[in-house]
Structure 1
Amino acid sequence: MSDYLSLPDLSFPADRTAGIADDKDNPWLTLGIMDRIEDPVLLREWGKMLDLQTRVLGPGEVDWLRQKGFARDSVGILEPGSGDGHYGSYLARCFGNTPVHGLEANEALVRRFDQGFAPSNYNISICTVGSDDLPEQVQNSVDQCLLRFVLQHVSDPGSLVRAVYDALPSGGKLYAIEEDHSFFTTEPYWLPYALATDAWSRVYEHGGSDAFIGRKLPSLLSECGFEVTDYDIILRNNVEMGDDFPKLFSQAARVLHHTAPDILPLAVLKNIDQEFTADRGEHRRMYVATYPQILVCATKP
């Protein structure tokens, strides 16, 4: 094992919107690591991350969604923050009888959408939910909505949730899937995991993304008029996920490095990869580490 490589000791504003939310060059109402994603290298790394998230996390999420009535007798599903459409295409295939309408504010991400890869019941429109009017083909055509890893990156999550509330009919369902870094934990101490999660939280704080959005979902949704009916904390872990666990954290580290190389330098990124690789050897120690997912279901009265 190599020696510990510490991350830079940087101080960040306590207010996640300080100096960012008023930025006139923030047309997508996003903050931090999802803001201004246009660089081709970063786009490619995000593409790999979205692909890995879909493959590794998607089946468990879909099982949970089915249990909670997702797509059951639904006329259409809204998917704000659809990115390049990879997850939305997967979702539409899993629920093939229901139209899924993706909405994405970042045109650079939408340009990566492969229409030929997508099923016929999935599409993406360019729209900043909470600011723009919803596309005509979506209005009065949806009764459910999925927000997956979206609210953590939005400068005004309440505005987005209220727009979803207005778009849904009475009895409409909102499903939210998020993270909460409060539940990052490992036993015993695991160097690459510690480096990756430390960098993850620092980059979020620096950019304004909310690393603790998961615990805030019930109050946020309630304040916007929804009635929360389910709240689940699922601690995915490396024992369950096997080699997919370090792959997920290593890819996240690559995204973080290209987003904020001053916070996660190349030397630390290489150390994360090397340490994870070493711990997959024949005589590896037993670690238990978590990747927390918060899953919430709410209804419009």
Structure 2
Amino acid sequence: MQTYQFDNFPNHQRNSEIERLTTNVDSHSKTLVDLLLTNGLYGSNEVLDVGCGTGAMLQLLASLLEKTKFHGVDNSTKILETAKNTIGQTNEKIQLTHGDACNLPYPDNTFDFVFTRLVLMHNSNPEQVIDEMVRVCKPGGTICAIEIDDGTQLFHPHGEELNKIVQAHIQFSKLHGTDRTMGRKLYSLFSKHSHTEETMVIIQTSDYSKDFIQNNELPTLLKFALGNDDGRRLVEANLLTEEDRSELVSTFIPRFLASPHRFESCSFMYAFGKKVAT
């Protein structure tokens, strides 16, 4: 089961989500590329992106590795249409396929490098996704999962107050099959798998500077936590009091955004493992 269903979004939400997904890749592309290249991607002939979305990652990597063939799979027909329009129908280096991450439409031992980004957190059975990634990876090849962990979100000022809504959102997501603390679980998921070895997790946080703050914009994870109803669903689920929600929306968040000295941070977790050579 997946809780993130792009095809079910209304049209206006699809457009904003496409923009967010593309910007999200652009915002930390250098770190992404460096970590992937130095941990198995460089020298790979066949690469698979599980949950490729708009294809932004595929385009970025394909522009750097001329001799590598890239494949992307996603369960959303709508987002694959966007990817195909962006990438181009005749790009022989990138092949896009509709399919389920829990039942990948590829034979065993097909790819040298298999990665997924911000997919496991939306799947109620991340172990099965990893099983499939390992299955389609060649012996000796690399699997990689990139996830965030909302529990690493930090704010200042009013960090304690803002953390209330983050924690409520983590619990709300858990009730609906989403795990917004997936990042901390990657090492366990990889290391306990019977067909992986050499598990490694790299934690990456973006460098923080004045340029990071743009137009008093609400941090992305606070946007998710507040949702379209300013967090009222969290109150209805008894995860946040109405008094706390109202004070957050009317007082603490505006004060946070108004501070020229504010700080916010969240970590990305990169897990790498090798498929056991048999």
- TM class, shorter-length: 0.7 to 0.9
Deviation, 1:36, is: 5.4
From 78, 91, 94, the equivalent of 2:61 is 91
Aligned to 1:5: none
From 38, 49, 58, the equivalent of 2:9 is 38
| Letter aligned with residue 51 of structure 1 | T
Matches of 1:108 and 1:259 in 2, distance apart? 26
Aligned to 1:130: 102
Q: TM-score, normalised by structure 2?
A: 0.78
Is the 8 Å Cα contact of residues 70 and 94 (structure 2) preserved in structure 1?
A: yes
RMSD in angstroms over aligned alpha carbons? 3.5
Return the structure number with greater helix share: 2
From 228, 232, 244, the equivalent of 2:202 is 232
Return the structure number with greater strand share: 2
Deviation, 1:131, is: 2.5
Deviation, 1:209, is: 1.1
| Correspondence 1:178 to 2:178 | no
Matches of 2:263 and 2:168 in 1, distance apart? 19
| Letter aligned with residue 288 of structure 1 | F
Q: Identity of counterpart residues, as a percentage?
A: 19
From 275, 284, 290, the equivalent of 2:265 is 290
Is the 8 Å Cα contact of residues 73 and 98 (structure 2) preserved in structure 1?
A: yes
Deviation, 1:103, is: 0.5
| Correspondence 1:155 to 2:127 | no
Matches of 1:123 and 1:252 in 2, distance apart? 35
From 249, 258, 262, the equivalent of 1:278 is 258
Aligned to 2:32: 61
From 189, 194, 201, the equivalent of 2:170 is 201
The residue matched to 2:140 in structure 1 has which SS? coil
Is the 8 Å Cα contact of residues 44 and 68 (structure 2) preserved in structure 1?
A: yes
Aligned to 2:240: none
Matches of 2:51 and 2:225 in 1, distance apart? 18
From 166, 179, 186, the equivalent of 2:135 is 166
- Structure 1 unmatched runs, 5+: 1-28
Aligned to 1:50: 21
Matches of 1:201 and 1:223 in 2, distance apart? 25
Mark the CA change 1:256 to 1:124 in structure 2 (over 3 Å): closer, same or farther: farther
Mark the CA change 1:206 to 1:63 in structure 2 (over 3 Å): closer, same or farther: same
Mark the CA change 1:294 to 1:143 in structure 2 (over 3 Å): closer, same or farther: same
Report 1:210-249 matches (<5 A): 210-224=179-193, 225-236=195-206, 238-239=208-209, 242-243=212-213, 249=219
Aligned to 2:239: none
Matches of 2:74 and 2:164 in 1, distance apart? 31
Q: Give per-residue Cα distances to partners, 1:244-281, cap 9 Å, x unaligned.
A: 6975824872697259974379x9889899667634xx
Is the 8 Å Cα contact of residues 111 and 137 (structure 2) preserved in structure 1?
A: yes
Q: TM-score, normalised by structure 1?
A: 0.73
- Structure 2 unmatched runs, 5+: 236-245
Aligned to 2:48: 78
The residue matched to 1:84 in structure 2 has which SS? coil
Matches of 2:47 and 2:9 in 1, distance apart? 27
The count of residues paired between Structure 1 and Structure 2 equals 263
Is the 8 Å Cα contact of residues 221 and 298 (structure 1) preserved in structure 2?
A: yes
| Letter aligned with residue 217 of structure 1 | L
